[in-house]
A and B are shown apart, each in its own frame.
Chain A
Amino acid sequence: SAVISQKPSRDICQRGTSLTIQCQVDSQVTMMFWYRQQPGQSLTLIATANQGSEATYESGFVIDKFPISRPNLTFSTLTVSNMSPEDSSIYLCSGRTTQETQYFGPGTRLLVL
C-alpha cells in the first residue's frame, strides 16, 4: 500500500484566518487529491492536485478559497482561506497508485471558532 502522511493532524482556528495542510506521499502515487468530510457526511472531492500547474477543482470549490499547490510528485498543500465555522471538517489527502488503487492520509480535523 502507499504511504501518505499529513499534517497537522488537528487544529482549532479563529474565523477569518487561514490554515495550510501538508501532504507527503511515497513514490507509488501518481495522482493526488484533496477531499473534505463534513460531520456526519461522506467524502467530497475538493480538487485534483496537478504537479506544477493549477489544481482542477470540483463544482462548488474555488481556488481563492482552497488554494492548492503540488510543486513535485510527492508533496502537496491545501490552504483553507478566510475560514468560517462552516469550514469545520476533516480534510483528507489521497493518492492513487499506478495500480489504480487509491489510499488516504490520516486526515486533518479542523475546528473553526
Chain B
Amino acid sequence: EDKVVQSPLSLVVHEGDTVTLNCSYEVTNFRSLLWYKQEKKAPTFLFMLTSSGIEKKSGRLSSILDKKELFSILNITATQTGDSAVYLCAVAIFGNEKLTFGTGTRLTIIP
C-alpha cells in the first residue's frame, strides 16, 4: 500500500526562525511529489517536484526531492505569522490518478 509520512506532526517556532518540514514516501511507480499549504479549507498549491536534486524556490519557501532516499523537504526561512498553516505533502504515481496525502505538519509561528 502506498504510504506518505510527514514529520514533525506539529511545530511551533518564533517569527524569524527557519523551519524544515519533512515528507517521506513509499510508493510504486512514483511520478511526482506535491506540497500544499492549507490555512482554512482549501489547500493552496506550492510546489511540484519530479526530479531529484533540483530545488524549487518561491520567495522564502523552497523544496527539494531525493528520489533515491524517497523523501522531500520544504524549507521556510525568516518565518512570518502568515506562514502558520498545515503543510500537506502528496505523491502521484503512474497508472493511478489519485494523490496519496500525508497527514500534514501543523506549523505555528509565534510573534
> Judging by beta carbons under 8 Å apart, are B41 and A45 in contact?
no
Q: Number of B residues whose C-beta is below 8 Å from A?
A: 20
> Judging by beta carbons under 8 Å apart, are B99 and A42 in contact?
no
Q: Which residues of A contact B45 (CB under 8 A)?
A: 1, 101-104
B25 contacts the other chain (Cβ, under 8 Å)? no
Instruction: Tell me, in angstroms, the Cα distance from A106 to B40 when the chains sit together.
Output: 9
Q: Which residues of A contact B104 (CB under 8 A)?
A: 42
Name the contact of B98 in the complex, choosing from A42, A45, A103 (C-beta under 8 A). A45
Interface centre among B31, B42, B90, B102, by most chain A C-beta atoms within 10 angstroms, is B42
* Nearest B residue to A100, CB-CB: B32
Q: Which residues of A contact B98 (CB under 8 A)?
A: 33, 45, 48, 58
Q: Number of A residues whose C-beta is below 8 Å from B?
A: 23
Q: Mark interface residues in A43-77 (1 if CB within 8 Å of B CB, else 0).
A: 11100100000001010000000000000000000
Given contacts A100-B32, A100-B48, A101-B48, contact A42 B101 (CB under 8 A): yes
> Judging by beta carbons under 8 Å apart, are A90 and B101 in contact?
no
| Chain A binding surface, main DSSP class | strand
Give A contacts to B, CB under 8 Å: 1, 31, 33, 41-45, 48, 56, 58, 90, 92, 96, 100-107, 109
Name the contact of A109 in the complex, choosing from B41, B43, B48, B99 (C-beta under 8 A). B41
Q: Which residues of A contact B34 (CB under 8 A)?
A: 101-102
> Judging by beta carbons under 8 Å apart, are A42 and B103 in contact?
yes
Name the contact of A92 in the complex, choosing from B31, B41, B102 (C-beta under 8 A). B41
For residues 1 through 59 of chain B, which have their beta carbon under 8 Å from a beta carbon of chain A? 31-32, 34, 36, 41-45, 48
B88 contacts the other chain (Cβ, under 8 Å)? yes
> Judging by beta carbons under 8 Å apart, are A31 and B97 in contact?
yes
Name the contact of A43 in the complex, choosing from B32, B92, B101 (C-beta under 8 A). B101
Name the contact of A105 in the complex, choosing from B42, B92, B103 (C-beta under 8 A). B42
